[in-house]
Amino acid sequence: MTKKMQGAVLDGIMSIGVHEVDMPVPRPDEALIRVHCIGVCGSDIHYYEHGRIGRYVVDSPLILGHELAGQVVEVGANVRNIEPGDRVAVEPGIPCDRCDYCKAGRYNLCPDVRFMATPPIDGAWAEYVAVRSDFLHRLPDELSYEEGALLEPLSVGFHAMRRAGLGPSDRIYISGLGPVGLLAVTAARMHGVSRIIGGDVLPLRREMARELGADAVLDPADESVADRLAELTGGRGVTAVIESSGNARAVADTIGNVRRGGKVVLIGLPTSREIPLDVTQLVDKELDVLGVFRYANTYPAAIDALLHDDHPIERIVTHRFALDEIATACEVARTQKDLSVKVMIYPHSPDARAHV
Ligand SMILES: [Zn+2]
Ligand SMILES: [Zn+2]
């Protein structure tokens, strides 16, 4: 008889509840993970609120959630790299390993990737999840489960730094300080970026960026971003703009806000597909424009970097809920953008209060 567990199931727009679902059984190359904590991501809330993101449509009940860490409880017969009892961060996208992209190491572009909480693939807002073992990354004792879960959004910024080849000779502006933008501050420090400026309209997020090590912050609703960036860089300008807000105006403004010869890195997804860009300026300034989609090969390096990082990234976790509070958790993430940054779910509720 199949064992059962509790899972949070989205069964319609704005309709989510905890139900008894089948407990996954690990295949020979998989491990069963007891989910310790798992974040609520902007994409989860988008599915919750609209039932779709672009071409991905929720047309049957779906378990959301893809930012998690937990403990290995059982391994399949072929698993060698981890064992029961290990604390692990879970990388949530399993690629095919066979296509050109996978072979080239760019497995984030694999057309056959099975990414958690992207319909029809279930995520892990549940007590347990089975994951292919080479996508489990052992957490050193020094790192908490929450840091393990935050490796997922951190990876996006980490990948952005690599894509743009940013390092000590760079001065950057991070536009938008949601979880991804905030953790891009951390990723930028990890890559030795010499000057990091963050911008967001919400005071709490600017304050967190400072705590995570941004050298300066600005409010794009209240001041001229271009003027302020010039002032903060002694007139030299920023060598890269990392756009993580997805705000159409902010995306268009990246071209004007970066210095000549600079890089524009686009992470945030705007709600409209088409945004006017000043192409004459883009050409005249000889800009590199780079898209960033998820990440590849970031977890091991980001774990090492976190071990040497002295700014606690858990600071961005503003709310912690048990699994049966999932509806409240979604509403907090959806409606309280000024007070909430990262909302964390603890599927085994006693862990929720005695967290980290
Ligand atoms: Zn996410
Ligand atoms: Zn592939």
**In this structure, how many other beta carbons lie within 10 angstroms of the beta carbon of residue 306?**
22
Sequence-distant (6+) residues with CB within 8 A of 299 are: 89, 91, 137, 151, 155
Ligand 1 mean position to 54 CA, how many Å? 16
Residues paired with residue 212 on neighbouring β-strands, in sequence order: none
Cβ distance 295 to 108 under 8 Å?
Answer: yes
Bridge partners (DSSP) of residue 57 are: 52
CA of 48 to the centre of ligand 1 (A): 14
CA distance 98 to 102: 6
Q: Which numbered ligand comes closest to the C-alpha of 107?
A: 2
Q: Identify the nearest ligand to the CA of 47 by its number.
A: 1
Kindly give the confidence (pLDDT) of every residue in the chain, 356 residues in length, as a single tens digit, with 9 standing for 90 and above: 789 999 999 999 999 999 999 999 999 999 999 999 999 999 999 999 999 988 899 999 999 999 999 999 999 999 999 999 999 999 999 999 999 999 999 999 999 999 999 999 999 999 999 999 999 999 999 999 999 999 999 999 999 999 999 999 999 999 999 999 999 999 999 999 999 999 999 999 999 999 999 999 999 999 999 999 999 999 999 999 999 999 999 999 999 999 999 999 999 988 888 999 999 999 999 999 999 999 999 999 999 999 999 999 999 999 999 999 999 999 999 999 999 999 999 999 765 655 54
Domains within the chain, CATH numbers bracketed: 4-138+312-353 (3.90.180.10), 155-291 (3.40.50.720)
- Ligand 2 mean position to 84 CA, how many Å? 29
Q: Interhelix angle for 299-307 vs 179-190, to 10°?
A: 70
- 3-state class of 99 per DSSP? coil
Query: Ligand 2 centre from 134 Cα, in Å?
Result: 15
Distance 160 CA to ligand 1 centre (A): 15
Ligand number nearest CA of 178 is 1
Question: Which helix (H) or strand (E) element contains residue 255?
Answer: helix 248-257
Spatial separation of the C-alpha atoms in residues 82 and 80, rounded to whole Å: 6
